[in-house]
Amino acid sequence: MNWLFVALSAYLLLAVANLLDKFVVDNVLKSSKAYAFAACVLGLLVFVLAPWFLKWPGVFLLSINLLAGFIFALALWALYEALRRGEAARILVFIGGLTPTFSIIFSIIFFKELFTLNQWFGMIALLGGALVIAFLPSSRSYLTRVLNKLRLTQIKGNGGLFIALLAALAYSLYFIISKYTYSEQPFLSAFLWNRLGASLFVLVFLIRKSDRKQIISLFKSNNPNKNNWLVVVNQILGASGFMLQNYAIFLGSVAIVNALQGFQYAFLLIISAGLAMLSPKLLKTTFSWRIVLQKTLAVILIAVGLYFIAS
């Protein structure tokens, strides 16, 4: 089941990218529009493949490809804006839980997709695992405490949840529309066209003078911010994970691939726990059976979900 390996690889890369997203938005760019602009414009680098893979799809499919790109850019901005306003771990899991839920609904409505009983069990278990992680007390969450100790984020309330809801809805629409374009065209050609659509959409961020100044300063060679290299590194990780995620959707079911997003947050827990073990001073906390059981339940649900999906 090649799509499964591709999807899990994608979510591992995206987990690392998400850890850096919050730091970059808060400490490097301080503007969700500037970061979304940078991400979409840097995404045009894949156009080096255009001479070999880009095909003219016709006017109708071109418009659908560009629409997918527009929606992706909107989703990306909403994600970064929600991260800027809210607590990182909570926002990421909130979006990660809602995106596959919307994708399942849209797959049934638009594609009339039918799932086996095992697939239903698997998707429900994966969503359940993400939900359990979402309800971890933020002050006791490995991810939150590691981010706070490393000063990658600040403790915040539930700000940004409405924008996170918009991000989840936009991401699910993007994946559904992309699945349609992938079924009608070669994968890389469709992917290149929707990257173009995303870069065209973010040009609207140049309209406001304040946004334009932040974006222009990002691309100035004399920009004094020493952390700008993180933007490039993070975009390479995020773009690689995103391309693999799209390829997994091309190979398999959009709803099931999105449901596997629970692994992204399991990877986040593992990475943050690893950081804690490498540097015990990062976490000074008392033992709690409730937290141990909650995390164990989340891992078991995600593992069970994978078993049913793969069976």
pLDDT digits (tens, 9 = 90+) for 219-233: 665 555 555 666 677
pLDDT tens-digit map of 12-59: 998 888 777 666 655 655 678 888 898 888 888 888 888 899 999 999
Measured at the CA of 286, the angle between CA 133 and CA 156, to 5 degrees, comes to: 50
Give the span between the Cα atoms of 27 and 39, in whole angstroms. 16
State whether residue 223 is helix, strand or coil: coil
Give the span between the Cα atoms of 76 and 73, in whole angstroms. 5
Return the DSSP state at 261. T
Closest CA to 12 of 262, 297, 250: 262
What is the reported pTM? Answer: 0.81
How many H helices and E strands in the chain?
Answer: 14, 0
Identify the burial level of 112 via C-beta atoms within 10 angstroms of its C-beta, where 0-12 means exposed, 13-18 middle and 19 or more buried: exposed
Do 166 and 78 meet the contact criterion of CB atoms below 8 Å apart?
Answer: yes
pLDDT tens-digit map of 254-295: 988 988 887 887 787 777 667 666 665 554 444 466 776 777
Evaluate if residue 67 carries a pLDDT over 80: yes
Closest CA to 153 of 141, 162, 145, 165: 145
Percent of the chain with pLDDT over 90: 26
Domain ranges of the chain: 2-310
Closest CA to 122 of 306, 261, 252: 306
Do 154 and 26 meet the contact criterion of CB atoms below 8 Å apart?
Answer: yes
